[in-house]
């Protein structure tokens, strides 16, 4: 591709600030438009503002559309982009309203020859990249089990989530569909796509509609097991509860990796008391170790340099299939093979 990559964004809600700020930091990218039904919000993000998606696509002529809106808008926005000849699209998660719609829109994008990437950024957090590298290098031997304890501490009381993302309160599927899906993808990135899942879900805060706590137990290839233990009403030891949103342990035959709330990764060799720091505490003041930026740079490198792009929509459908299996398991009280 010759010249700068022209990027336009759709949606100016809470999380869009991280997207817009990151695009402005990427060399070789021009942010040519930002669309939202609220013109003032769109204008506040530093790109030419628009209130209509079709108009923005026609006038700004982007090479890539970044969709940062809630799931009910995804299919329509992607179809509009395809109709305007856009062949590179990033779409925030949760992807579409349900698995059926996600499959349909993925097929339409493929038929149009478009690259549709799901903005699943947790696997791009630096601590998970460091853990992946340690596993690849065999630093803990054969991995046997892993656990992540989600403890963001933001789900207590009658006003939970009102200050940041109030739509959380009305989601009939909450903990898994909105939050745990990050670790469904991260676990498959680290340990391989699960082969079975068992789920026990519950609602702790009666002020919200969906589940906000639960256990998800995954089987992975080779006998590896992982546990997601989530409770949004509880916290963990961290100055910023949203940096890692919890703590993790990955245990193998020769050692244990730990992730702490400051974003540091440590290695303790089997049978030893001391531990080695593989990744120092995170100093990024924004969201999640600057994972939005890491994902966006990854996509730009794929477009401009032809390198493989992670989490394209056809690949990401497996995450939604696992999500559906989780809810089936919770409803039936039994383990579901994948």
For 27-48, how does the pLDDT look when each residue is reduced to its tens digit (9 = 90+)? Answer: 999 999 999 999 999 999 999 9
- What band does 106 get if pLDDT is binned at 50, 70 and 90? very high
Q: Same structural domain for residues 84 and 203? A: no
Region label for 52, one of left (φ > 0), alpha (ψ between -120 and 50) or beta (otherwise): beta
Residue 2 has pLDDT above 80, yes or no: no
Q: Do 282 and 162 fall into the same domain?
A: yes
Examine the fold and report which residue of 103, 119, 135 is the final residue of a domain before the chain moves on.
119
- How far apart, in whole angstroms, are the C-alpha atoms of residue 303 and residue 295? 13
Beta bridge partners of 35: 10, 50
Per-residue pLDDT band for 1 (boundaries 50, 70, 90) equals low
CA distance between the termini of the chain: 40
Q: Which residue, 85, 119, 153, sits at the end of a domain? A: 119
Residues 42 and 160 in one domain: no
Task: Please give the angle made by the CA atoms of 298, 281 and 300, to the nearest 5 degrees.
Answer: 10
CATH number at residue 14: 3.40.50.720
| Domain closes at, from 80, 95, 119 | 119
Per DSSP, the residues of 188-237 read: HHHH-S-SEEEEEEE---TTSSS--EEEEEEE-GGG-EEEEEEETT---S
The answer to whether 39 and 12 have CB atoms below 8 angstroms apart is no
pTM over 0.85: yes
Whole-number percent of the chain with pLDDT over 70? 99
Number of domains in the chain: 2
What's the rounded Cα separation, in Å, for the pair 174 and 167?
10
Residues 165 and 72 in one domain: no
**What share of the chain has pLDDT > 90, as a percent?**
96
Q: What is the structure's pLDDT at 167? A: 87
Confidence of residue 163 (pLDDT cuts 50, 70, 90): confident
Q: What is the CA radius of gyration of the chain?
A: 20
Residue 198 lies in a domain: yes
- Averaged pLDDT of the chain: 97
Q: Are residues 138 and 104 in the same domain?
A: no
pLDDT in tens, 7-27: 999 999 999 999 999 999 999
Domain that holds residue 69: 5-119
Q: Is residue 25 part of a domain?
A: yes
């Amino acid at each position: 591709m010759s010249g700068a990559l022209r990027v336009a964004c759709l949606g100016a809600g809470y999380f869009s600030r991280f997207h817009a700020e990151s695009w402005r930091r990427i060399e070789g990218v021009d942010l040519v438009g930002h669309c939202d039904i609220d013109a003032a919000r769109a204008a506040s993000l530093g790109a030419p503002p628009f209130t209509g998606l079709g108009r923005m696509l026609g006038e700004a002529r982007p090479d890539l559309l970044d969709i940062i809106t809630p799931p009910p808008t995804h299919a329509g926005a992607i179809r509009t982009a395809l109709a305007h000849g856009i062949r590179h699209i990033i779409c925030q998660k949760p992807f579409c309203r349900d698995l059926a719609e996600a499959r349909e829109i993925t097929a339409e994008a493929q038929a149009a020859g478009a690259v549709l990437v799901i903005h699943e950024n947790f696997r791009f957090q630096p601590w998970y990249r460091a853990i992946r590298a340690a596993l690849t290098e065999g630093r803990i031997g054969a991995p046997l089990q892993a656990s992540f304890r989600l403890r963001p501490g933001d789900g207590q009381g009658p006003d939970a989530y009102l200050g940041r993302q109030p739509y959380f309160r009305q989601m009939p599927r909450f903990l898994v569909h909105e939050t745990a899906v990050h670790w469904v993808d991260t676990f498959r990135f680290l340990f391989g796509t699960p082969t079975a899942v068992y789920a026990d879900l519950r609602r702790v805060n009666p002020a919200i509609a969906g589940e906000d706590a639960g256990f998800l137990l995954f089987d992975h290839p080779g006998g590896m097991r992982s546990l997601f233990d989530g409770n949004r009403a509880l916290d963990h030891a961290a100055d910023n509860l949203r940096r890692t949103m919890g703590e993790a342990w990955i245990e193998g035959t020769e050692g244990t990796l730990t992730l702490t709330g400051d974003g540091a990764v440590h290695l303790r060799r089997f049978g030893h008391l001391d531990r080695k720091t593989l990744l120092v505490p995170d100093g990024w003041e924004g969201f999640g170790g600057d994972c939005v930026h890491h994902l966006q740079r990854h996509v730009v490198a794929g477009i401009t340099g032809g390198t493989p792009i992670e989490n394209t929509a056809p690949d990401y459908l497996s995450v939604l299939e696992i999500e559906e299996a989780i809810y089936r398991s919770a409803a039936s009280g039994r383990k579901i093979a994948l």
